[in-house]
Amino acid sequence: MPLLTLDDLAGNDLILHRTLHRTHLGEQIDLPTWPAVVVKIAAGTLPPAGAEPLGGPYWRVSDPHPLARARALVASGAVDAFPDLVRHRVARESLNKEQDVTFDDPSYGGQWYLDELGMIDLYNHTLGSPEVRIAVVDSGIDIASTDLAPKVSDPYDAFSDDDDPSPDPGEFCTDGSNDICDEHGTAVSGISLAQDNNGFGIVGMCPECTLIPIKLLGEGSGALSEEVAAYEHALEADAWVINNSWGYTQYTPAPRMLANLIEQVSTENRGGLGAVVVFAAGNDDRELKDDEMEALPTVLCVSATDSYGNPTNYTNYGDPIDVAAPSATVSIAPGNTVITNFGGTSAASPVVAGLAGWILSANPAMSAAEVRDLIESTAVQSPLVIPDDQGRSTYYGWGSISPPTILAELFPEQAAETPEASGCGCASAPGLASGAAAGSLVFLGFAAAVLRRRSS
Ligand SMILES: [Ca+2]
Ligand SMILES: [Ca+2]
Ligand SMILES: [Ca+2]
């Protein structure tokens, strides 16, 4: 496993933080946090207080919250600053706390976003309740996956109108093979609710919640109005939370039947408490308009941020954005494999959907509106933007989600010391170039694989 060394850094002006992080994320995948920051300063300027010299313009600053620190250093004029992956490995040993719940899932250590979100404090409270039913409306979902199989309920394929939402052989294969090539729905499902402590894969945001897998997109011609069929199923199966890592590549007013159904599940599911409907903002680097699906009044719309909590270079933006979340790059893929470079707003939305599931596990009496309110009101606005009078900003909405603040709101007496309220530090996801036709239905993570090939 190649490690980034200080020799790699010294004198190499080409190592910019995003590229660096992306390159090394896959290789360093068992490293969840960074306890130090390497900063490059301009000639003639003073190093940050407490920094140790690494030679030349490079200095290392120890900090328990290196992502926030790196952001601040860049904002204050440093040429560059990025988490120190070398120091990290050493420090990880000492981060283990005896009282923390532990996981035997082999890729848990690589789920940097769980660390950045402070999820361990939430997991210490609950790992989720099977009563909470999270529907994932997506491409094919490998319901035989070790991380999903035990928690599947009411599977449905709205694309083929059958009860098996698994990816079909050959689907989305760019090499003409008849393999299982569609990773999207499985990766999205894993981020929300992969099973904990099963000796396999990863740990989902709500690892003991129930999954209602709904296949919406396949390859070839599907049933008419798959979206409507998918939502009718989410209504019938009484989903508590519905994740939607899909959307339209260009401006498309919300289809009326779909809008009506989204309103219906949001207010009628759970005996009237409603389902929390979460949508990815999309990866087209465009402004979302007020009459699009993502802007529907009961929809929680999620933009994606990178490892510095900055907006990714692809995320959509605009008034409909409610919150930002890290583009979770590590998840499961079909055939009991693990993917380390998933990306896009597709990977940010299920972080929020899983969080909604965790909230409802902790307090099942909350209405969907209350859950949305809690997630929005506890979000932490980026220090790098000037929000509007209400506190919203174009890319972050109300800000980056802050699970420890949610924990403190729900259980003020039990909340541990809240980690630095920097919102999520969010690893850079691959930039996405969407080549889909105008208004066509797309899933929001496929292009990540394209970029992975290009950069490797
Ligand atoms: Ca099927
Ligand atoms: Ca697992
Ligand atoms: Ca909204």
Arithmetic mean of pLDDT, 266-274: 98
pLDDT at 32 (0 to 100) = 30
Instruction: Kindly report the pTM of this predicted structure.
Output: 0.74
Give 397 Cα–ligand 3 centroid separation in angstroms: 9
Which one of the ligands is nearest to 302 CA?
3
Give 378 Cα–ligand 2 centroid separation in angstroms: 28
pLDDT higher at 49 or 5? 49
Arithmetic mean of pLDDT, 425-452: 33
- Alpha-carbon span 164 to 145, nearest angstrom: 13
DSSP class per residue in 381-439: --TTS---TTS-BTTTBT-B--HHHHHHHH-TTT--PPP-------PPPPP----PPTT
Ion ligand 3 neighbours, Cβ < 5 Å = 322
- Alpha-carbon span 133 to 121, nearest angstrom: 22
pLDDT at 66 (0 to 100) = 62
- Alpha-carbon span 50 to 201, nearest angstrom: 39
Check pLDDT > 80 for residue 80.
no
Architecture of the domain whose range is 108-455: 3-Layer(aba) Sandwich (3.40)
- Which residues make Cβ contacts (< 8 Å) with residue 370, sequence separation at least 6? none
Check pLDDT > 80 for residue 426.
no
pLDDT at 160 (0 to 100) = 94
pLDDT higher at 28 or 111? 111
Arithmetic mean of pLDDT, 222-233: 87
pLDDT at 415 (0 to 100) = 52
- Alpha-carbon span 296 to 293, nearest angstrom: 5
pLDDT in tens, 386-408: 889 999 999 999 999 999 999 99
pLDDT at 98 (0 to 100) = 55
Give 162 Cα–ligand 1 centroid separation in angstroms: 5
pLDDT at 67 (0 to 100) = 62
Give 353 Cα–ligand 3 centroid separation in angstroms: 14
- Which residues make Cβ contacts (< 8 Å) with residue 259, sequence separation at least 6? 293, 296
Give 180 Cα–ligand 1 centroid separation in angstroms: 13
Give 17 Cα–ligand 3 centroid separation in angstroms: 32
Give 373 Cα–ligand 3 centroid separation in angstroms: 10
Give 164 Cα–ligand 1 centroid separation in angstroms: 4
pLDDT in tens, 122-169: 999 999 999 999 999 999 999 999 999 999 999 999 999 999 999 999
Which one of the ligands is nearest to 296 CA?
3
Give 200 Cα–ligand 2 centroid separation in angstroms: 5
Which one of the ligands is nearest to 140 CA?
1
pLDDT in tens, 331-361: 999 999 999 888 889 999 999 999 999 999 9
Ion ligand 1 neighbours, Cβ < 5 Å = 157, 160, 162, 164
* Phi, psi values for residue 130, rounded to 5°: -60, -20
pLDDT in tens, 310-332: 777 788 899 999 999 998 889 99
Three-state DSSP class for residue 288: coil
Which one of the ligands is nearest to 218 CA?
1
Answer for the pair 314, 432: CB distance below 8 angstroms, yes or no: yes
Looking at the chain, the domain(s) classified CATH 3.40.50.200 span 108-455
Give 264 Cα–ligand 1 centroid separation in angstroms: 26
For residue 305, give Cα distances in angstroms to 259, 315, 443.
27, 8, 18
- Which residues make Cβ contacts (< 8 Å) with residue 283, sequence separation at least 6? 304, 314, 315, 316, 344, 345, 346, 432, 434, 444, 445, 447
- Which residues make Cβ contacts (< 8 Å) with residue 38, sequence separation at least 6? 9, 54, 58, 59, 60, 61, 81, 82, 83, 84
pLDDT in tens, 362-371: 999 999 999 9
| Closest listed residue to residue 209, CA positions, set 123, 280, 113, 139 | 123
pLDDT higher at 343 or 207? 207
pLDDT at 200 (0 to 100) = 97
- Alpha-carbon span 198 to 406, nearest angstrom: 27
- Alpha-carbon span 375 to 322, nearest angstrom: 9
